[in-house]
Chains A and B, each alone.
Chain A
Amino acid sequence: MSTRPAVVVDDVSKRFRLYRERNQSLKAALMRGRRAVVEEFWALQDVSFEVPEGSTFGLVGENGSGKSTLMKCMARILQPDRGSVRVNGKVSALLELGAGFHPELSGRENVFLNGSILGLGQKELAAKFDEIVEFAGLGQFIDQPVKNYSNGMYVRLGFSVAINVDPDVLLVDEVLAVGDEAFQRKCNEKFADLKAAGKTIVLVSHNLSAVHNLCDRAAWLEHGVLKMIAPARQIVDEYMSTVQIDRVEDVETGGNRWGSGEGRIEKVELLGPSGEPASKVRTGDPVTIRIHYCMDEPIPRPVFGLAIHTLDGTHVTGPNTRDTESVPDKLEGEGHVDLRIDPIRLLPGTYDITASLYDYACLHPYDFRHHVLRFDVDPGEPHESYGVVSLGGSWRVPGVDPAA
Chain B
Amino acid sequence: MTTLTEYRSTSELLGNLTLRELRSKYKRSALGWAWSLLNPLATLLIFSLVFRFFMRVQLPPSETSGLQNYALFLSCGLLPWNYFTNSVSGSIGTLVGNANLIKKTYFPRELLVFSNVASWNVSLLIEMGILLLVFLAFGNMVLPWIPALLVLIVLLTLFVAGLSLIFSVLNVFFRDVQHLVGIVFQAWLYLTPVIYPITLIPESHVLFGVDLPLRRIWELNPMARFVGAFRDVLYDLRWPELNDIGYLALVSVATFFIGLTVFNRLSGRLAEEL
Q: Give chain A's interface residues, CB within 8 Å of chain B.
A: 16-17, 23-27, 29, 72, 75-79, 91, 93, 95-96, 99-100, 102, 104-105, 109, 112-113, 116-122
Contact = CB atoms under 8 A, between A and B. Distances in A.
A76 B106 contact: yes
B104 A121 contact: no
Contacts, number: 82
Contacts of B268: 79
Q: State the main secondary structure of chain A at its contact with B.
A: loop
6 contacts: A26-B176, A77-B103, A79-B269, A91-B106, A104-B27, A120-B9
Interface residues of chain B: helix, strand, loop or mixed (majority)? helix
B238 interface: no
A154 B16 CA distance: 20
A43 B14 CA distance: 33
B20 A105 contact: yes
Q: Which 7 A-B pairs have the closest CB atoms?
A: A99-B104, A79-B268, A76-B106, A96-B104, A104-B27, A116-B13, A116-B16
Given A29-B174, A113-B20, A119 B104 contact: no
How many B residues are at the interface, by size bracket? 20 to 34
B12 interface: yes
Interface in B162-197: 173-177, 180
B23 interface: yes
B216 interface: no
A72 B105 CA distance: 9
Given A24-B175, A26-B180, A102-B20, A77 B8 contact: no
Nearest to B268: A79
A117 B107 contact: yes
A392 to B, nearest CB: 57
A12 to B, nearest CB: 14
A113 B98 CA distance: 14
B19 to A, nearest CB: 8
Contacts of A16: 272
B17 A113 contact: yes
A105 B24 contact: yes
A285 to B, nearest CB: 56
